[in-house]
Structure 1
Amino acid sequence: MNKNKILKIGIVMDPICSIKIEKDSSFAILLEAQKRGHKIYYMEMNDLYLNGNNPCAKIRLMKVEKNKNKHFEFIKEIDSKLEKLDVILMRKDPPFDMEFIYATYILERAQKKGVLIINKPESLRDCNEKIFASEFPKFITDTLVTRKLSKIYKFWKNNKDIIIKPLDAMGGSQVFRIKENDSNFKVIADIMTNQEKKYCMVQNYLPSIKKHGDKRILIINGKVIPWCLSRIPQKGEIRANLAVGGIGNVQKLNNKDWEIAKYLSPILKEKGLLIVGIDIIGDKLTEINVTSPTCICEIESKKNISITGILIDGIEKKIYKKSL
């Protein structure tokens, strides 16, 4: 097998015309793939379809460039069976809704026809970014997933200071803190559960986020990246997400970070989750992000490490090994 073979790499993502190229991890991955001579093909969710048993899509051969004025160009557009591609990166941002799940069914058909799908469609469905962390109770903070107001109320009274958030969002969207004796408890809980019709996650508030931030640790193809991005909330804000103004600081993993990440890494790899971002506040695991983890650009810009290179190395190895 010629290890210099040009791969056909597809990506499903949000509209590329609206991304911020200096921060977008998907764009960084595309740049690295293109630098190695691979062909990249762009898709959005509504480009995917099934024709009988054949998973297909409108795919666009694309070139990318680190240029804010013109960061992409479509070379040609065709309707194609997805099995014509070697690999497809599923990088659509949440919300994790039924449309997202339907897309994973289509990608799973392509997987059965020999296409490498990253991350594995079955695991994208099974490993909800909020709930999945609860499989590792020795690492998580006090956590409740429910839609019953009475259970949320009891949790709040026991913990006094809590965070409540939806299971299907990202970027700090709809995250609320309810302090002890907060008169807004009922209205917040009503809204978050849609009056007991929608599940949400409740966790005790971790005050270490103020000083030490919410750390995003990347695990790529089972390899723990030794640098993380600590995201610290702005003054007067409870959320540390960069999307809502959190301040990022690249730092080394500490002993507890390594303990958690090394424990998780073989489990994630076994599940076909090759691009993962785990979130740690203090010494507690809070989320395991598997859909479209970010923070690659922020770490690469500060440290002499190519996270995208590690990813593409892993992709090439898998494809070449499969072809032997």
Structure 2
Amino acid sequence: MKILFVADPLESFKIYKDTTFAMMREAQKRGHQVVACEMTDVRWQRGEAVSALVREVRLTGDADAWFVETGKQRAALKDFGAVIMRKDPPFDSEYFYATHLLSQAEREGAKVFNSPVALRNHPEKLAILEFPQFIAPTLVTRNEADIREFHATHGDIILKPLDGMGGMGIFKVGADGLNLGAIIETLNRDGAQTVMVQKFLPGIAQGDKRVLLIGGKPVPFCLARIPQGGEVRGNLAAGGKGVAQPISARDREIAEALGPILMARGLMLVGLDIIGESLTEINVTSPTCFQEITDQMGCDVAALFVDAIEQALAA
């Protein structure tokens, strides 16, 4: 079948670590036709189905020139066997509009993973609020006084914007409160922007673990992203070191509690972020770490994902 990947420009892929590339490679290995487009290529107009200007590609196996374009045409999304939404965050207004176009494509018969409705309903920082039994002390507010009260109660805290990715815009404030006022001003823009504040979790020293859910079930290995050089951020984009390891009993407890709920909402692929015993984020837009886990543990995560897509389409 033809599988359409809605993603960032192919020319920007770092294929040694890119999860979307791993998905494409596995799909082609099974005989599926790999097709790609960007969000800017998608359109709808009255009298037509949602369509995209798509690139038919063949993966070459060459690390440098990793694909060749074998065709380019406009095609209706409903005519593909599956549409995989893999655009990286941020979840900005353009991403929001794209999910509405994908929802229209679903109404026309397209099979879209992850569900565009679920993408809209699960902002990655705020989705954890539904599961308070698994999270650390957390505050979501615009109010400076609330933040200062939370800091007085918990001492070491982490402040983060709600629309960041890759560890961008995350600050740690110690019990002494040094620079707290300036950080609040930077993040909440004098009360105009909502921020998340969490109790600092010392378990970050052992890694910010990415636990993957595929088809509602946990992958048995996770990637612990360990901060380096005095950083408090483990994100790979912030210089963290990725160490794959078996998931812990607590990781499994959280994953098995959330997996069926999220899968029932159309979230085929989810990345849970867990520090120590606490869930910190639920990533649904473009979860990563397939290749790192596969390379270090021998567990073919991309194969598990394509299995799940094929099974969902056959159901």
**TM-score class normalised by the smaller sequence:** over 0.9
Query: Is residue 119–residue 272 contact of structure 1 (8 Å, CA) maintained in 2?
Result: yes
What is the deviation of 1:135?
0.6
Partner Cα separation in structure 2 for residue 135 and residue 45 of structure 1: 29
After superposition, the C-alpha distances for 1:21-42 in whole angstroms (9 at most, x for unaligned) are: 0110000000000111101111
Pairwise CA distance, 1:192: 0.4
Match of 1:276 among 267, 270, 286: 270
Aligned with 1:218 (options 207, 212, 225)? 212
Shift of 1:235: 2.3
Q: For residue 77 of structure 1, what is the aligned residue in structure 2? A: 72
CA positional deviation for 1:308: 1.1
Question: What is the CA distance between 1:65 and its match in structure 2?
Answer: 3.3
Q: Out of 52, 59, 84, which is 1:57 matched to?
A: 52
- Compute the displacement of 1:72 (Å): 1.5
- The reply to whether residue 67 of structure 1 matches residue 62 of structure 2 is yes
Which runs of 5 or more structure 2 residues have no equivalent in the other structure? none
2:122 to 124, 127, 149: 127
Q: Is the 8 A contact 2:217 2:255 kept in 1?
A: no
Q: 2:5 aligns with which of 11, 24, 28?
A: 11
Give the aligned residue type for 2:80: L
Pick from 302, 306, 310: which aligns with 1:316?
Answer: 310
Q: Tell me whether 1:197 sits opposite 2:197 in the alignment.
A: no
Structure 1 residue 298 corresponds to structure 2 residue 278 = no
Q: Distance in 1 between matches of 2:105 and 2:49?
A: 8
1:253-296 Cα offsets, whole Å, 9 max, x none, are: 11111111111110111011011110110000000100000111
Asked if the contact 1:87/1:116 (under 8 Å) is kept, the reply is yes
1:243 aligns with 2:220: no
Report the Cα distance in structure 2 between the residues aligned to 1:197 and 1:23, rounded to whole angstroms.
Answer: 37
Q: Does 1:37 align with 2:39?
A: no
Alignment correspondent of 1:256: 250
CA RMSD in angstroms comes to: 1.1
Instruction: State the SS of the aligned residue for 2:202.
Output: coil
Partner of 1:112: 107
Conservation of the 8 A alpha-carbon contact between 2:5 and 2:35 = yes
Q: Which runs of 4+ in 1 moved over 6 A?
A: none
Distance 1:125 1:23 in 2: 27
Contact conserved, 1:56 with 1:79, CA < 8 A, in 2?
Answer: yes
Q: CA deviation at 1:169?
A: 1.6
- Equivalent in the alignment of 1:25: 19
Q: Which residue of 2 aligns with 1:103?
A: 98
SS of 1:169's partner is coil
Percent of matched pairs sharing the same residue: 43
Q: Secondary structure at the match of 2:210?
A: strand
How far apart, CA to CA, are the structure 1 residues paired with 2:20 and 2:61? Answer: 13
Question: Which residue type is aligned with residue 196 of structure 2?
Answer: M
> Is 1:139 matched with 2:134?
yes
| CA deviation map 1:110-151 (0-9, x unaligned) | 111221111000000000111001111110001111111111
- Three-state SS of the structure 2 residue aligned to 1:208 is helix
Q: Is the 8 A contact 2:49 2:108 kept in 1?
A: no
Find out whether 1:187 has 2:188 as its counterpart: no
**Aligned with 1:177: secondary structure?**
strand
**What amino acid sits opposite 2:142 in the alignment?**
R
Structure 2 partner of 1:3: none
Secondary structure in structure 1 of the residue aligned to 2:132: coil
- How far apart are the structure 2 equivalents of 1:241 and 1:26? 18
User: Is residue 222 of structure 2 the alignment partner of residue 228 of structure 1?
Assistant: yes
Question: What is the rounded CA distance, in whole Å, between the counterparts of 1:258 and 1:318 in structure 2?
Answer: 23
Aligned length: 314
Taking the aligned partners of 1:154 and 1:299, their CA distance within structure 2 comes to 40
Post-superposition offset of 1:43: 0.7
